[in-house]
Structure 1
Amino acid sequence: MSEVSFPGVRIRGVAAAVPDQVRTLADDAKVFGEDEVRKVSESAGVKQRHISSILCASDLCFAAAERLLAESDCPAEDVDALVFISQTSDYILPATSCCLQERLGLSKDCATFDVNLGCSGHVYGLWVVSSLIASGAARRALVLSGDTIHRMCSPEDRSVALLFGDAGTATLLERCEDTVPSHFVLGTDGSGQDHLKVGAGGCRTPWTPAALQRVECEGGNKRGAGDLYMNGAEVFSFTLRAVPPLVKKVLGGAGKVIGDVDGFVFHQANKFMLEHLGKRLKVPKDKLILSLENFGNTSSASIPLAMVTELGDRLRSEELDLVLAGFGVGFSWAAASLRCGDMTVPELVLVPVP
């Protein structure tokens, strides 16, 4: 696993945005029936999701970034780099980060690029930007993590359709000599690539009329090659194998133990899974941060979204030692031990759905 510490980098602020359109359990019950929805909700911990079939991840990230820059008094021209983390980009090309540079009014001297990662993506983004700042390549940079994965889900596939919501986030990092070093651990196992996948629509398997046709699969679910497929059992097994040693390794590298940490912000995949991880790691319940109930699984946005909605008040007024961990599609995983505090954390932005 890749492992590194970065001195002299701090998070100045974090913001999140979601569509103002909410899908409730009652809405889902009209499609899948009350009993099925209740079972999934009790296990996954999802009671509602913010979704839109019109807004893109970039729209939500733009709203979050615009609010964050305004409230942190950071002029757009002071941003040296922008990294867009998403698996739901606006186009095949150009890079969505280029579109966001123009929308946000950032300098033409600003370096931008996209990173195609999901569940682990936000921590990867922090790692990339921290390395840029620590090396002197940038003094201030934005990580924009967002996804609209629900648009990839077949509405007739209860294994995914009841879980995913939409969100976009913005995290502003900057050079700061007087800060505790952050510590990162990252890894990949591509042998798990088929267990969480949208098979059609890329150059390997282009769109065809057949790819758009949904056929009956396991348990009566219906999906096509262009819809999201998730092998829940394999993803769960991977998580239990990879995440406990990942968290222990990042804590060890940072010279910390479980009791030193104020909050564990894991990728918000599934409540049952997260609580199981918490028990394995002996994380106190009040330190295991959960935001699934109101937002579902928001892929790359889930960690910063949870920071805003569940820790925002504390992050504005005090310093917290946090462990962030993302894991999933790829298979890919990443964790960070960070000290965060005295940050700009705007209230959650609700973006009107046209």
Structure 2
Amino acid sequence: MQRSNVGILGIGVHLPEHLRTNGWWPPAVVAAWQEQRARTPAPPSPRTEGMARVLAAMAQTRDDPFQGAVERRVMAEGAVACDMEQLAAEEALSRAGVDRSSIDLLLCHTTVPEQLLTNTACELHHRLGLPTDCFTMVTEGAAASFVMQFMIAEQMIAGGRARNALLVQSCSVTRLLDPSDPLSPLFGDAASAVVVGPVAEGRGILGARQCTDGRASRTLVASVRGGRWYDEGRVILHSADPMGARDVFLLAADRGKEVSDAALREARMSPSDVDFFVVHTGTPWFRQVMQEHFGLTSARSIESFSSTAYVFSVSIPLGLSLGEREGLLRSDDVVLLHGGGTGVTYGSLVLRWGR
């Protein structure tokens, strides 16, 4: 595919002020999690090298009830997802140096919207004062959303339908957590925004691949346990298919390598060419396992799970922002992004960093 020099112009990140440490959960609840994990059936024998890597990493954290998370951010009472999205978007626009009148495409992934059956991106459009002819829509791809948004934006800009795009992601799942559930300490709240647009020749997106497998579509859902979101009872975040979720984890490294290799081939590059790697971080070991299995021997990366827990599609823009701030991500670096989302979708994108 002919690429069109579309890259990242600016990133904004918002982390709520309130910190929730592991001490927030009562010791009796934590002890119950450990007892529950002790009764978990043994995993199957690995069939591939990728599965073996995943199983080995899972075994290392089996006895940690918090799975490597030390703290996470939590939205203030009364705040809504759009509040975080607006703050992240304003920062991204400022860093990009782009006038909002030139934003022709707004794509939002709001993990937990306040209402259903409405385009919740429209409220953010209004708050930001974007043009009325700005193409505005919600994109749902869970943790894969940013990679998917970026691919859509590239084609809209390449096709002349947009000059610049604003891609927004938010995670506010702490309001859907059952504190007694062992999943509850693994998530946090956050928002990010990325302005993308034309960049210099040879920079921006160089290769991409996106895949879908709908056989395990209920691995992580927000609904009434045992029912649907509109059934009587409280809507909570949980796995409606634990065995399917386990299988998705076991296949994650192999699937990730498949799409990452394809994106690198399109970019006419090899794993050794990658300078910086970012992946959605649903566990503390996920980044390292993926990096090793992909053969990214020269790539730098950054760990954020311990301080933010899992923040869905915010993970990748957050990693890019932290990488720049820490001096790990530099102009002209070859960057590999990988995201996988419940449903299941998974995709990778290769770009050369800089404007």
Q: Would you call these one fold, judging by a TM-score over 0.5?
A: yes
1:328 correspondence with 2:351: no
Instruction: Tell me what 1:75 maps to.
Output: 99
Deviations 1:260-318 (A, max 9, x none): 11111011111223322222223338624321111111001110011112333538862
Contact 1:58 1:168 in 2 (8 A): no
Q: Taking structure 1 as reference, are residues 286 and 10 closer, same or farther at Cα in structure 2, changes over 3 Å only? A: closer
Q: 2:190 aligns with which of 144, 149, 167?
A: 167
Q: Taking structure 1 as reference, are residues 36 and 287 closer, same or farther at Cα in structure 2, changes over 3 Å only? A: farther
The gaps in structure 1 that reach 5 residues or longer are 213-224, 343-354
Contact 1:88 1:149 in 2 (8 A): yes
Structure 1 window deviating more from structure 2 (74-83 vs 95-104): it is 74-83
**Aligned-residue offset at 1:336:** 0.3
Q: Taking structure 1 as reference, are residues 328 and 78 closer, same or farther at Cα in structure 2, changes over 3 Å only? A: closer
Q: Secondary structure, in 3 states, of the residue corresponding to 1:95?
A: coil
Q: Take 2:25 and 2:332, find their aligned partners in 1: how far apart are those partners?
A: 40
Q: 2:316 aligns with which of 303, 324, 329?
A: 303
Instruction: Tell me what 1:273 maps to.
Output: 286
Q: Taking structure 1 as reference, are residues 7 and 272 closer, same or farther at Cα in structure 2, changes over 3 Å only? A: same
Q: 1:56 aligns with which of 62, 80, 89?
A: 80
Q: Take 1:33 and 1:132, find their aligned partners in 2: how far apart are those partners?
A: 48
Alpha-carbon RMSD across the aligned residues, in angstroms, is: 2.6
Q: Take 1:227 and 1:289, find their aligned partners in 2: how far apart are those partners?
A: 27
Equivalences for 1:179-190 in 2 at 5 Å? 179-180=202-203, 181-190=205-214
Structure 1 window deviating more from structure 2 (240-249 vs 18-27): it is 240-249
Q: Which amino acid aligns with 1:331?
A: V
Q: Which amino acid aligns with 2:321?
A: V
Contact 1:324 1:337 in 2 (8 A): yes
Q: Take 2:187 and 2:142, find their aligned partners in 1: how far apart are those partners?
A: 12
Q: Secondary structure, in 3 states, of the residue corresponding to 2:82?
A: helix
Q: Taking structure 1 as reference, are residues 21 and 43 closer, same or farther at Cα in structure 2, changes over 3 Å only? A: closer
Q: Which amino acid aligns with 2:323?
A: E
Q: Which amino acid aligns with 1:111?
A: F
Instruction: Tell me what 2:148 maps to.
Output: 124
Q: Take 1:153 and 1:5, find their aligned partners in 2: how far apart are those partners?
A: 44
1:152 correspondence with 2:176: yes
The gaps in structure 2 that reach 5 residues or longer are 35-60
Q: Taking structure 1 as reference, are residues 283 and 32 closer, same or farther at Cα in structure 2, changes over 3 Å only? A: farther
Q: Secondary structure, in 3 states, of the residue corresponding to 2:151?
A: helix
Q: Secondary structure, in 3 states, of the residue corresponding to 1:319?
A: coil
Q: 1:15 aligns with which of 7, 12, 15?
A: 12
Equivalences for 1:82-97 in 2 at 5 Å? 82-97=106-121
Q: Which amino acid aligns with 1:106?
A: L
**Aligned-residue offset at 1:92:** 0.9
Q: Take 1:63 and 1:138, find their aligned partners in 2: how far apart are those partners?
A: 23
Q: 2:220 aligns with which of 193, 196, 199?
A: 196
1:264 correspondence with 2:256: no
Q: Take 2:254 and 2:260, find their aligned partners in 1: how far apart are those partners?
A: 11
Q: Taking structure 1 as reference, are residues 200 and 127 closer, same or farther at Cα in structure 2, changes over 3 Å only? A: farther
Contact 2:332 2:354 in 1 (8 A): yes
Q: Take 2:200 and 2:96, find their aligned partners in 1: how far apart are those partners?
A: 19
Q: Which amino acid aligns with 1:161?
A: S
Contact 2:279 2:287 in 1 (8 A): yes
Q: Secondary structure, in 3 states, of the residue corresponding to 1:300?
A: helix
Q: Take 2:63 and 2:173, find their aligned partners in 1: how far apart are those partners?
A: 18
Q: Secondary structure, in 3 states, of the residue corresponding to 1:63?
A: helix
Q: Secondary structure, in 3 states, of the residue corresponding to 2:323?
A: helix
Structure 1 window deviating more from structure 2 (126-135 vs 80-89): it is 80-89
Contact 1:81 1:140 in 2 (8 A): yes
Q: Taking structure 1 as reference, are residues 35 and 326 closer, same or farther at Cα in structure 2, changes over 3 Å only? A: same
Counting aligned pairs with the same residue, the percent is 23
Q: Take 2:144 and 2:2, find their aligned partners in 1: how far apart are those partners?
A: 18
- How does the TM-score come out when normalised to structure 1? 0.83
Instruction: Tell me what 1:227 maps to.
Output: 237
Contact 2:106 2:135 in 1 (8 A): yes
Instruction: Tell me what 1:350 maps to.
Output: none
Q: Secondary structure, in 3 states, of the residue corresponding to 1:66?
A: helix
Q: Secondary structure, in 3 states, of the residue corresponding to 2:195?
A: strand
Instruction: Tell me what 1:222 maps to.
Output: none
Deviations 1:35-71 (A, max 9, x none): 9689665883321101125433322121011122233
Q: Taking structure 1 as reference, are residues 143 and 48 closer, same or farther at Cα in structure 2, changes over 3 Å only? A: same
**Aligned-residue offset at 1:111:** 1.3
**Aligned-residue offset at 1:156:** 1.3
- How does the TM-score come out when normalised to structure 2? 0.83
Q: Taking structure 1 as reference, are residues 29 and 234 closer, same or farther at Cα in structure 2, changes over 3 Å only? A: farther
Structure 1 window deviating more from structure 2 (47-56 vs 95-104): it is 47-56
Q: Take 1:40 and 1:296, find their aligned partners in 2: how far apart are those partners?
A: 17
Q: 1:133 aligns with which of 144, 152, 157?
A: 157
Q: Take 2:28 and 2:3, find their aligned partners in 1: how far apart are those partners?
A: 48
